[in-house]
Amino acid sequence: MALDGPSNYVAPNGLTEASESLPIFDVQRVQLQFDIAADFVAAQVANNVLILALSTGRILRIDLDSPEDIDDIDLPKKSSETGLIQRMFLDPSASHLIITTTLGENYYLHTQSRQPKALSRLKGVSIESVAWNPSLPTASTREILLGATDGSVYETYIEPSTEFYRREEKYVTVVYRVLDGSPVTGISAELVPSNPESRQVMLATCGRLIYFLGRVVAATRHGRDAGGSIYADLFQRETALIHESANSSSSAPSSLMVNSSSIAGSHQTDSQAEKEFAWLNAEGIYHGPLSAGNPFDNAKMLPRSKYPATLSARGVRKMIQDPITAMTLTRWHVLALVEGRVVAASRLNEEIVYDQAVLEPRQSSLGLLADLTQNTYWLFTSKAIYEVVANDEDRDVWKVLLKGNKFDEALQYAHGSAQRDAVLKASGDYLAEKGNYLEAAKVWGKSSKGFEEACLAMVDNKEYDALRKYLLSQLSTYKKASVMQRLMVASWLVELFMSKLNDLDDSIATKAELTEGATEGQVQNQLDETQAEFQDFVTRHKSDLDKKTVYDIISSHGREQELLFFATTINDHNYVLSYWIQREKWTEALNVLQRQSEPDVFYKYSSVLMTHAATGLVEILMRQTNLDPERLIPAMLNYNKTANVSLSQNQAVRYLNFIIVNHPNPSAAVHNTLISIHASSSSTSESGLLNYLQSQSSSPPRYDADFALRLCIQHKRVQSCVHIYSAMGQYLQAVELALESNDIELAAIVADRPEGNDKLRKKLWLLVAEKKIQQPGTGIKDAIEFLRRCELLHIEDLIPFFPDFVVIDDFKDEICTALEIYSRHIDELRQEMDNSAQTAHQIRSEIAHLDTRYAVVEPGEKCWICSLPLLSRQFFVFPCQHAFHSDCLGKEVLEGAGGKKKYIRDLQAQMSTGDLAPTRREEIVKELDGLIAEACILCGDHAIKQIDKPFISSSDAVDEWAL
């Protein structure tokens, strides 16, 4: 099967296609790919499956997804016995088919079967309409309603069976009868979305539309298991709502169509979607939403007069309106077949949007059907099949909704920015006309409404809250490149916020709003909301705000809280700190400072904060790792000058101690500052300063020793001065200073410090001893006992310091001990002198024997250097029996002489001159012999120096590889 191109299109009532390239609908004839000799007598379509009944009694089942596969099905009996097929009813899932013939025979065909089964219990019933079960079953039909020609409504349950003796229908029950016996031309049964146990049942006759709403009996208990009806109680218990046609006619076409509403069903499942119904009758098409309650309240009639009449052969319009022979519902339109023309009318405003001639004059049709699952629409005649194709059906829906002031729905169906903008502008204008400027401002801000026009409208009406909302919306639409626009709008918003906040504060203060019905609590809530809105605005748009401008605006209104919030948001901590400091709010200033990490902020405000909030500031400073402590020294010194506290509570000392302990490399200025504070303190205790000085054990110390010494001398910190002298190695000055202060114990401790220098230690201890002995009230025994701490002092060293009138008995024991020590020492010296005399005598004896010492030289003995006979020329013989020619030995010694080489050459040069005196020559010869023959070159130091010299030189003619 294939589709032909569109037929000739006639615009209804002078309508033109205008900007749309295609009409909303287009009727296309389906080209059949198979030959059929007989005519179509009935047709159905559902779930993309097409069912055709032929005049020969055959049934064709065609899957439109694969139209080449066609099921050809015959009725069990010949058409002469059963009659012609009159109607067919196909459920929306295309699973169940009911066939009715002209002789009252009814058959059932399941989608998985090729053999129709006779419905014996329905024999003789002329079925006009079927209401399928809303659950869309596939294995069975479950409970369905059948409308008959005699006005009866049957309930049945059809379940396919392979057993020959079992009937297809489990039960058939008459549940309702139309009073006047009119044929039930349409019937539907739908779920109620809010109550799954309820049903909405609608019956249509030629002149009436009947509606029932109520609960049904549980199908599992009565319908399926017990074989009873589930709808009987509903029809008996509930009162029907009836809508009657004013001009009913039994000859006029009548049908009922129910499908999902386009608006409600677009985002919901079929079971939850709101349904739309349409009833074709003699007056026209009555349609509306199938809402629970009274569906006729919102329904409206689309009269036949809305449809244009056809032209006569002479080109004039008929005076009598053509009847509507068939109709169906699309998502947004009512499709009707009017005298061979397919006419589409909008369900929203009932305007004709499409009118196209399809059939030949007086050509009848089999129906205008809709495939609800696929949203396709079909027109059948006895010879042809047409598909009504929807082309962008909802493209004009937004216009219709807009005219009806349904702005939200119009915006939902607007396509493109231009359509959405048109809806937004119209919506804003409508809200403004109604006086709802707040909502209008939100909508205008998203549209292309003129900025000046919108602002003037709100200013003229003093709608400043709405103006604020509008500017906020407008600000979000500006691009980042529109710097000036964003700046101006943002500044204006700040002004509006401040004015609003001041008005609310004034209302609370004067209770002015109470006369207008607002309580003080409500005004306070409004104030809180406005402040939160301002804070959110500043946070999101701080880059669009000029700092100086905003400061000026907020300051002019006196809004302290908002001013500080803005400064904090833009990280202008200098401003916030200076603000609190100027007002002497030290706690608030510290709260701001502890959230900062910029070093310059701490350097700038440290002096004033140390003066007024030292403890809190030091706590904050100790948590900072990126500060230069040296730049905080002025603040520490200024604090120390004004603070009248003890050193234990001195915050400058606390901070400097923390830096010295924890900082990786504090500068000397930090150490010097701490020393200065300690030294200049009014406290007489030096414990703090001494503890610090003793902790600085590095050499050289990290503080300036000269500076520290001058301070300690200036402020008479004796113990600290003594420690500094000691650290500098000036032990004599340290001891003298300690003794000047009569601190003999400290002087004794310092005197012991020069380790390894006994001479200096003794000198220092003598100074201590003199002071100790001369100290008033000190006994001789006590002094001697004290001085025994130094092992270098003896009694003879101390005697000069004793007074002349001292009795020897006071230190008799010490003198005796000293004399015994001296006696032992004299004996040791005498023994050493005896040993020395013996050694000298032995040396003199050995010197005397040197003149008689000799060496034996054997005939043929060779020089150890040149290997020539030794006796051939002058030679030297050493006690080790090594012998060398004089010239060979001199040459060898000269090569390794090192520093003596120049001196030997000078002596040789003097020997070569002929003007030397004989005595001088003898002296030079003796000196040369002494230098050359000082030691054997093979046994002495010369041999050691030649350790790296090879045994065989390159000049020796020796085979290196010879054994």
Dist CA 569 CA 116 (whole Å):
80
pLDDT of residue 555: 86
The pLDDT, as a whole number, for residue 343 is: 93
Lowest mean pLDDT among 89-93, 318-322, 371-375: 318-322
Of 600-609, 729-738, 778-787, the range with the highest mean pLDDT is 600-609
pLDDT digits (tens, 9 = 90+) for 474-522: 787 778 888 898 888 888 888 888 888 888 888 777 765 454 556 777 8
pLDDT (0 to 100) of residue 321: 61
Q: Domain for residue 457, yes or no? A: yes
Beta-carbon count within 10 A of 320 CB: 6
CA–CA separation, 434 and 540 (whole Å):
32
Over residues 729-755, the mean pLDDT reads: 75
Task: Return the C-alpha torsion angle 765, 771, 773, 776, nearest 10.
Answer: -160
Q: pLDDT category, 178, cuts 50, 70, 90?
A: very high
pLDDT of 779: 56
Q: Domain for residue 422, yes or no?
A: no
Residue 53 to residues 30, 39, 68, Cα–Cα distance (Å): 17, 9, 18
Domain count for the chain: 3
- Asked if residue 889 is part of any domain, the answer here is yes
In the predicted structure, residue 18 carries a pLDDT above the cut 50: no
Mark whether 495 and 597 lie in a shared domain: no
Average pLDDT over residues 655-667: 85
Q: Are residues 534 and 491 in the same domain?
A: yes
Share of the chain above pLDDT 90, in %: 17
Cα dihedral sign, 917-920-925-931: negative
pLDDT at 809 > cutoff 60: no
CA distances, 91 to each of 216, 229, 681, 788 (Å): 21, 20, 106, 127
The parent domain of residue 590 ranges over 571-624
Look at residue 890 and tell me if it is in a domain: yes
Specify the pLDDT at position 222.
Answer: 41
DSSP bridge pairs for 300: 287
User: pLDDT at position 953, please?
Assistant: 67
What is the per-residue pLDDT for 961?
A: 61
Same domain, 457 and 492: yes
Residue 487 shares a structural domain with residue 545: yes
Determine if residue 273 is left, alpha or beta; phi over 0 gives left, psi from -120 to 50 gives alpha, anything else beta: beta
Average pLDDT of the residues in 675-692:
80
20-36: average pLDDT: 79
CA terminus-to-terminus distance, the chain: 116
pLDDT of residue 157: 93
Average pLDDT of every residue of the chain: 80
pLDDT, one tens digit per residue, over 833-855 is 888 888 888 888 877 776 677 78
**Residues 467 and 581 grouped into a single domain:** no
> Is pLDDT larger for residue 911 or for residue 225?
911
Query: Where residue 238 falls among pLDDT bands split at 50, 70, 90?
Result: very high
Residues 534 and 467 in one domain: yes
Residue 581 falls inside a structural domain: yes
Q: What is the pLDDT of residue 344?
A: 92
277 pLDDT higher than 50? yes
pLDDT-derived band at 270 (thresholds 50, 70, 90) equals very low
Q: Tell me, what's the pLDDT at 171?
A: 92
Do the beta carbons of residue 466 and residue 441 sit within 8 Å? yes
Cα–Cα distance between 691 and 719 in angstroms, integer?
A: 11
pLDDT at 263 over 60: no
Q: What is the mean pLDDT of residues 227-234?
A: 86
Asked whether the predicted pLDDT for residue 858 surpasses 60, the reply is yes
Q: How far apart are CA 365 and CA 344, in angstroms?
A: 17
Question: Residue 337 has what pLDDT?
Answer: 92
Report the distance separating Cα 228 and Cα 235, nearest Å.
Answer: 14
Q: What is the pLDDT of residue 11?
A: 41
* pLDDT per residue as tens digits for the range 412-432: 888 877 888 788 888 778 777
**705, pLDDT greater than 70:** yes
605 and 529 fall within a common domain: no
Report how far apart, in Å, the C-alpha atoms of 931 and of each of 88, 900, 926 are.
147, 9, 9
pLDDT exceeds cutoff 90 at 890? no
Q: In this structure, is residue 899 part of a structural domain?
A: yes
Closest by Cα among 159, 49, 155, 148 to 100: 148
In a domain, 24, yes or no: no
Do 446 and 547 have their domain in common? yes
Q: Are residues 557 and 603 in the same domain?
A: no
Please tell me which residue, 385 or 901, carries the higher pLDDT value.
385
Give the tens place of pLDDT for each residue, 105-119: 999 999 988 889 999
pLDDT at residue 203, as a whole number: 96
pTM passes above 0.75: no
Asked if the model's pLDDT at residue 856 lies above 70, the reply is yes
- Asked whether the bond before 803 is cis by omega within 30 degrees of 0, the reply is no
Residues 596 and 529 in one domain: no
Task: Tell me the pLDDT tens digit for each residue of 912-955.
Answer: 777 778 888 888 888 888 888 888 888 887 777 777 777 676 66
> Regarding predicted confidence, which is higher, 167 or 104?
104
Helix or strand run (H / E) with residue 471: helix 464-477
Q: Tell me what pLDDT residue 151 has.
A: 94
Mean pLDDT along residues 857-880: 86
More confident residue, 302 or 698: 302
Whether the pLDDT of residue 624 is over 80: the answer is yes
Q: Are residues 462 and 551 in the same domain?
A: yes
> Same structural domain for residues 579 and 456?
no
pLDDT at position 266 is 40
**Residue 15 pLDDT level (bands cut at 50, 70, 90):** very low
Q: What is the mean pLDDT of residues 186-201?
A: 89
Q: CA-to-CA distance for 789 and 745, rounded, in angstroms?
A: 11
Confidence band (pLDDT; 50, 70, 90) for 9?
very low
Least Cα distance to 894 among 883, 906, 882 occurs for 906
Across the range 390-401, mean pLDDT stands at 82
Instruction: Give residue 257's Cα distance to chain centre.
Output: 54
Q: What is the pLDDT of residue 666?
A: 85
pLDDT at 262 over 50: no
Asked if residue 606 is part of any domain, the answer here is yes
Specify the range with the lowest mean pLDDT, choosing from 127-131, 183-187, 553-557, 742-746. Answer: 742-746
Cα–Cα–Cα angle for 42, 46, 52, rounded to 5 degrees? 25
